[in-house]
């Protein structure tokens, strides 16, 4: 695992270049992807926090992390990058996202699927988590961001 801290939510699968308002990779809004390097720490933390809240909401509905330290140790041992100050449910997502095809027993990692998901394969679960996380991010954008952009655009006086 790289000893460098993760500085951006980017996962290298940006879809904003194709016109998506919410990136299908990292789930940031298009303007956040574009302006990230100009954001101060407070603005970056606000984005990280929103992403964490949405991802935890999705993960808690599908898995239980019963041993966060074991999960953390396994991530380190397997050299899977994660953000240490985030929720263990975000760590669980990183594990599933990177290891869905090779993990046989989640319990060995300090986590378990909730009963309604126990017959799902981890690749199926990973894809479902990713879709739901995207849908929540998109809904957040539509509810809280898009109306502001629209009102800002309508309030701008046309140039003579």
- Domain limits at 113? 16-139
* Total number of domains in the chain: 1
pLDDT higher than threshold 70 for residue 4: no
Residue 65 counted as domain residue: yes
pLDDT tens across 82-127, in order?
Answer: 999 999 999 999 999 999 999 989 999 999 999 999 999 999 999 9
Summarize the confidence of residues 58-68 as an average pLDDT: 98
pTM over 0.85: yes
If DSSP states are collapsed to H, E and C, what string results for the chain?
Answer: CCCCCCCCCCCCCCCHHHCCCECCCCCCEHHHHHHHHHCCHHHHHHHHHHHHHHHHHHHHCCEEECCHHHHHHHHHHCCCCCCCCCCHHHHHHHHHHHHCCCCCCHHHHCEEECHHHCCCCHHHHHHHHHHHHHHHHHHHHHHHHHHHHHHHHHHCCCCC
Summarize the confidence of residues 78-84 as an average pLDDT: 93
Residue 132 counted as domain residue: yes
Summarize the confidence of residues 35-63 as an average pLDDT: 96
Residue 131 counted as domain residue: yes
Residue 5 counted as domain residue: no
């Amino acid at each position: 695992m790289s000893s460098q801290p993760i500085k951006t939510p980017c996962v290298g699968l940006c879809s904003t270049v194709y016109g998506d308002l919410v990136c299908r990779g990292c789930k940031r809004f298009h303007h956040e992807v574009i302006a990230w390097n100009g954001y101060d720490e407070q603005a970056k933390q606000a984005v990280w926090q929103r992403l964490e809240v949405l991802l935890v909401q999705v993960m808690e509905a599908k898995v239980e992390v019963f041993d966060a330290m074991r999960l953390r140790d396994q991530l380190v041992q397997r050299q899977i990058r994660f953000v240490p100050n985030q929720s263990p449910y975000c760590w669980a997502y990183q594990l599933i996202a990177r290891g869905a095809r090779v993990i046989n027993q989640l319990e060995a990692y300090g986590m378990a699927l909730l009963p309604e998901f126990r017959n799902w394969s981890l690749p199926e679960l990973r894809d479902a988590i990713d879709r739901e996380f995207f849908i929540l991010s998109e809904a957040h954008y539509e509810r809280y961001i898009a109306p502001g952009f629209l009102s800002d655009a309508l309030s701008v006086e046309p140039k003579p």
